[in-house]
Amino acid sequence: MCSPEHFAVEYAINPWMDVTAPVDAELAVKQWDRLRETLVGLGHEVHLLTPGRGLPDMVFAANGAFVVDGTVYGAQFKHEQRAAEAAAHRAFYEEHGWRFIAPSETNEGEGDFAYLPEAHGGLVLAGHGFRTELAAHAEAQEALNRPVISLRLVDPRFYHLDVALASIDDENIVYYPGAFSAASQKVLAQLFPDAVVADDEDALAFGLNLVSDGLNVVLNSEATRLAGKLKSAGYHPVPVELAELKKGGGSVKCCIAELRH
């Protein structure tokens, strides 16, 4: 995770960003701290990345890389405003002794990649259409030695896979069908017949931008209906308030890069 101490909406690179809407930086830090404390309280170890001045979106740490079994496939951001973030993430992984593979294709890390270690023997779901290029899916497959399923995003409000889909355990997902092309919807229905399916209200509340340890599902507190669906499916929803960071087009998952050894 990376503190939002420099967080601001200084440019608009997704439909959620409004440069005229005021951002309460102090409140953003408080809400982010609460998220970090929630993860620690659930028994998870949180490493911190030093935020860089002039990089207001660095709080969205999920976009900096994608890690599977100790191998890191690095990010290459689409927009120049975020490009410098990639080097900070690379430095973190290299300092900690991870095997880092530099990308040659545009991709935004866990923003557009999700991993399910036990689904069909280990599967990567990958989004394209707005940020990550389709060619990066093939590059990730070569880098990580895992089959990659390409899913086309068609609604600009759901510009990253992680605002439309999340893994809720090692073999199942929650997703919002409306974010995907008709063909991609069919692929998801075929691969995950027992998926938890979210509605428009959940999706627009950033409910899909969540993290789960297989039991506890940390999600945006606005997504009350989705929390109920997850509870009915046997999970334990843990709501957190992240209204300030939502102004940048992100929520729980965007703030968290998962380190899979």
Catalytic residue list: 160, 254
Full DSSP string of the chain: -B--TT----S-SSTT--TTS---HHHHHHHHHHHHHHHHHTT-----BPPPTT-TTTT-GGGGEEEETTEEEE-B-SSGGGTTHHHHHHHHHHHTT-EEE--SS-B-GGGTEEEETTGGGSEEEEEESSSS-HHHHHHHHHHHTS-EEEEEB--GGG-SGGGTEEESSSS-EEE-GGGB-HHHHHHHHHH-TT-EE--HHHHHTTTTS-EESSSEEEEETT-HHHHHHHHHTT-EEEEE--HHHHTTT--TGGG------
Identity of the residue numbered 10: E
